[in-house]
Amino acid sequence: MLTVRKSEDRGATKIAWLDSKHSFSFGEYYDPQNMGFGALRVINEDVIAGGGGFRPHPHRDMEIVTYILSGALQHKDSLGTGSVIRPGEIQKMSAGSGIVHSEFNASRERDCHLLQIWIEPSKNGIAPAYEQKPIDPEAVKNHFARIAAPNPRDNEVTLVQDAEIWAAQFDAGVEAIHQLEKGRRAWLQVATGKVEVCDQMLKAGDAIAITDEDRILVRAHAPSEVLLFDLA
């Protein structure tokens, strides 16, 4: 079964320093038909203006992943972490029993464009944790490469959930296949470009929910960047 979520149908929050699109219900945006997909609870596409950002605020019991499309994001948290996240990296914060963090555009002049992802953990009350890893550019070039998993390899962050995140950066005309094991589902988010997924044409900001399939065929019709969530 294939269900397309069009970019223009997403919820939106727009304030002075933030332009955010919500694939699922978030904040003041509530859509009972789009509360999440399996353990995947939030995909927000954020554009943060220069100098803007999220002041310190708390979280509990959530796996929070940040994937930068352009610009850079400055992170600080109550664990003492201070870092800057850039394209070509993945950041994961396990909120666990409680964490306070802030996220600000690292530039005062240039926008920061990112995807923020929340995944519900399989265990609550764990010790908070932070990870930031580089993504191998050769691994994601015209292929799907895993960047987050419950049993991570090198250059993968840990997810406290039976969920995997795969990334790919396609040249126009390239095809790639992701095999989906029996009983699993997938959500594919188009970050940039234009792709055809299982005969459905998708543009930047669109997504597709995939169930009861064992093979996901992606064809790039333009240079494109996508994230695929492989979920129990």
pLDDT digits (tens, 9 = 90+) for 165-206: 999 999 999 999 999 999 999 999 999 999 999 999 999 999
What pLDDT is recorded for position 97?
A: 98
What pLDDT is recorded for position 64?
A: 98
HEC states along 128-165? CEEEEEECCHHHHECCCEEEEECCCCCCCEECCCCEEE
Residue 226, helix vs strand vs coil? strand
Contact 197, 147 (CB under 8 A): no
- How many helices and strands, by DSSP H and E, does the chain display? 1, 22
Percent of the chain whose predicted confidence (pLDDT) is above 70: 100
Mean pLDDT, residues 2-8: 98
What pLDDT is recorded for position 85?
A: 98
Query: What are 98's two structure tokens?
Result: 């409680």
Is 94 exposed, middle or buried, given 0-12, 13-18 or 19+ CB atoms closer than 10 A? Answer: buried
pLDDT digits (tens, 9 = 90+) for 108-144: 999 999 999 999 999 999 999 999 999 999 999 999 9
pLDDT, averaged across the chain: 98
Q: Give the pLDDT band (50/70/90) at residue 3.
A: very high
Looking at the 3D structure of the chain, how many domains does it have? 1
Cβ-Cβ contacts under 8 Å for 144 (sequence gap 6 or more):
166, 167, 168, 176, 178, 228
Which range of residues forms the domain containing residue 31?
2-231
What pLDDT is recorded for position 206?
A: 98
CA distance 33 to 216: 24
**The pTM of the whole model exceeds 0.75:** yes
Contact 221, 189 (CB under 8 A): no
Percent of the chain whose predicted confidence (pLDDT) is above 90: 100
pLDDT digits (tens, 9 = 90+) for 10-42: 999 999 999 999 999 999 999 999 999 999 999
CA distance 48 to 73: 9
Cβ-Cβ contacts under 8 Å for 138 (sequence gap 6 or more):
none
CA distance 210 to 186: 5
Q: Give the pLDDT band (50/70/90) at residue 208.
A: very high
Mean pLDDT, residues 69-82: 98
CA distance 55 to 173: 42
Q: Give the pLDDT band (50/70/90) at residue 209.
A: very high
Which CATH number fits the domain that encloses residue 196? 2.60.120.10
Report the 10 Å Cβ neighbour count for 52: 18
What pLDDT is recorded for position 148?
A: 98
